[in-house]
Amino acid sequence: MGEDDLKRVKLKTKILVLITGLIVSITVLLTAINGYFEWKETEEQIGQRALQAATTMSFMPTVRNAFSSEQPEKIIQPIAENFREIVGAEFVVVGNTDSIRYAHPDVNKLGKRMIGGDNDRALLKGEYYTSKAVGSLGPSLRGKAPVLDKDGEIIGIISVGFLVDDIQSIIMQKLLKASGFSFIVLVFGIIGSVLLANNIRKDTFGLEPHQIASLYRDRNAILSSIKEGIIAINKEGQITMMNDSAKNMLGLSNDHVNKKIEDVFPNTKMYAVLSSGGTVHDDEMVLNNREVIVNRTPIFGKRGEVAGVVSSFRDKTEINEMLNTLSEVRAYSEDLRAQTHEYTNKLYVLSGLLQLGHYNEAIDLIQTESQLHLHQNKVLLGQLKDRTVQAVLLGKIGKASEKKINLHIDANSSLEELPNQFDMGKVITILGNLLDNAMEAVENKTDKHVTFFATDMGGDIVFEIADNGDGIPNEMMEPIFDFGFSTKAVDNRGFGLANVKKIIHELGGQIEVHNQPSGGAVFSVFIPKVLHCTIQQVT
């Protein structure tokens, strides 16, 4: 039978065949062992019975005296037959010292020699014993006893025997009685196996073992392939299942099965679902500095009780990064639009001055703008050669101009094309957030200054953004990089610097922040040209 054929055999049939075969095998084995011991015990009992009967008859005075009569058989034969019926033996044979029969169940054999060849121990040595031999009536188990006269001399022998066939019949009757009990056990075993199979099928929802194995393989493959983290617990709060994504998000190396959920999943709310039996969808929380969206679903038992909870959670950070990048791109577009609007206004002013004939004022405006942009463009376009950095700064310069903020690019800045790991989204997120925060910090100042510096000399790429705002309170130096933390009481804030720190971490760099003695904060970013992972925060 092949593997496919075995799969087609139902679990109920397998259990029935297994238990029935096991009971039959044990029954046969026990019957054989019991038969062996019954044979030995019955044989010994009957042998002792035959020996005791022979011994008893050998001590009868009438039998002893009959040996000295002229016709001993006439006296001994009736006594022997009567004695045989009393003890239930197959035969009682009495012989003289020459083994000539004086008594035998078949009177035709009287006066003839006893056969079997097992009389010497009694006739020669005077022993009392049992023996097996084939006599005139067939194979038999015999008890032998010598007959002694008054002087203790051996004058004859008495042999009481039971046929082997009769002994076997006795043993078979005992075995048949035991087989009746075995049959009852077999019937109960079959009934039990059917009930067991039905119970197992109920527990396995009617699925066969190969179907359960297939579901288990499919489940493991599915859990390994999905990006969502999945954890299941039982009603005691112990973890019963955890996929690889969950371990990665929780920062675990092992699956921690059978451990309490609160030991590996901080701030878990799965116990609330265990108590209420309700389903929770799209619950947002921060886990290992990651924003995650959590779903919690109860597991119900056969009687409708809550038997456990399954929690799935997906990382919201990637979605936020994409949204932040789009937001930065949109802000960059708005900054360019503002810059265009600013230049359009200046062109209108210049056109009006020319139309009114105020040529000197027009020339002064042109020279002022020319000097300003000549300096900015010299650094921006001549010393900063990465196009993404140029684009971000151009947009922020327009935004700063609209807000009357002096965004100054340090003349000592120099930057070549950024390495491949600096994609546009990362650069926009880092520089865009830091410049926006700096401009927000100086909004309430009369004289608003923001300074940008960049260099790639040495092994690191360095960005530095400074402002002349109020600075950062010492107690906020550490938490400003946490997800959801903000110095402003406004919803949906507190993610910009957290995303900046996360991206710098991915690039293997570090970010430092400190306050200037003259006022304002300085954010310094150090990112290695060759990717490695080092993050620290200096206050």
Question: What is the 3-class SS of 231-268, one letter each residue?
Answer: EEEECCCEEEEECHHHHHHHCCCCCCCCCEHHHHCCCC
The answer on 524 and 392 residing in a single domain is: yes
- pLDDT band, residue 14 (cuts 50/70/90): confident
The CATH number that applies at residue 387 is 3.30.565.10
Sign of the C-alpha dihedral computed for residues 152, 157, 162 and 164 taken in this order: positive
Q: Which residues, including other chains, have CB under 8 Å from residue 462's CB and lie 6 or more apart? A: 453, 454, 455, 456, 524, 525, 526, 527
- For residue 113, tell me if it sits in a domain: yes
Final residue in a domain of this structure, among 121, 155, 170:
170
Measuring CA to CA, which residue among 495, 496, 499, 527 is closest to residue 511?
A: 527
Pair (112, 240) in one structural domain: no
Confidence at residue 523, expressed as pLDDT on a 0 to 100 scale: 94
Per-residue pLDDT for 414 more than 70? yes
* Spatial separation of the C-alpha atoms in residues 419 and 530, rounded to whole Å: 8
Looking at the structure, do residues 340 and 481 belong to the same domain, yes or no?
yes
| 289 shares its domain with 359 | no
CA 537/CA 505 separation, integer angstroms: 11
User: Which residues lie closer than 8 Å to 172 by C-beta, 6 or more apart?
Assistant: none
Q: Is residue 106 part of a domain?
A: yes
Domain termination site, one of 280, 315, 350? 315
pTM score over 0.95: no
Domain that holds residue 34: 13-170
Distance (Å, rounded) from C-alpha 394 to C-alpha 537?
A: 29
Residue 201 lies in a domain: no
Looking at the fold, whether 269 and 326 belong to one and the same domain comes out as no
- Based on the domain organization, do 429 and 520 belong to the same domain? yes
Answer whether residue 341 is part of any domain. yes
Within a domain: 205: no
Residues 6+ apart with CB under 8 A from 147: 58, 63, 64, 67, 94, 154, 155, 156, 157, 158
Q: For position 489, what pLDDT does the model report?
A: 45
What's the DSSP call for residue 126? -
Q: How confident is the model at residue 327 (pLDDT cuts 50, 70, 90)?
A: low
Instruction: Classify residue 209: in a domain, yes or no.
Output: no
Q: What is the average pLDDT across 130-155? A: 83
Q: Is the pLDDT of residue 128 over 70?
A: yes
C-alpha–C-alpha distance, residues 278 and 297, integer Å: 7
Q: Residues near 474 by Cβ (< 8 Å), separated by ≥ 6?
A: 539
Residue 290 lies in a domain: yes
- Whether residue 405 sits in one domain with residue 392: yes
Are 282 and 427 members of one domain? no
Cα separation, 443 vs 449, whole angstroms = 10
Q: Answer yes or no: is 538 within a domain.
A: no
Asked whether residue 256 falls in the same domain as residue 240, the answer is: yes
Question: What does the pLDDT read at residue 538?
Answer: 33
pLDDT in tens, 222-259: 766 677 888 888 888 888 888 877 777 777 777 678 88
Q: Looking at the structure, do residues 151 and 59 belong to the same domain, yes or no? A: yes
In the three-class reduction of DSSP (H, G, I as helix; E, B as strand; rest coil), residue 205 is classed as coil
434 and 354 belong to one structural domain: yes
Interaxial angle between packed helices 387-402 and 317-356, expressed in degrees from 0 to 180 and rounded to the nearest 10: 60
Tens-digit pLDDT profile for residues 263-320: 877 677 888 888 888 888 878 777 766 678 888 889 887 777 888 888 888 777 666 6
Give how many domains the chain has, as a whole number. Answer: 3
| Range among 93-97, 367-371, 474-478 rated most confident | 93-97
Say if residue 505 is in the same domain as residue 385.
Answer: yes
C-alpha span between 415 and 230 (Å, rounded)? 45
**In whole angstroms, how far apart are CA 228 and each of 20, 249, 261, 322?**
48, 9, 18, 18
Nearest to 427 by CA among 503, 498, 326: 503
Contact in structure between 93 and 115 (CB atoms under 8 Å): no
Structure tokens at 457: 């000399």
Question: Last residue of a domain, which of 315, 345, 377?
Answer: 315
Distance of CA 411 to the CA centre of its chain: 62
Neighbouring residues of 181: CB distance < 8 A, sequence distance ≥ 6 = none
Bridge partners, 436 (sequence order): none
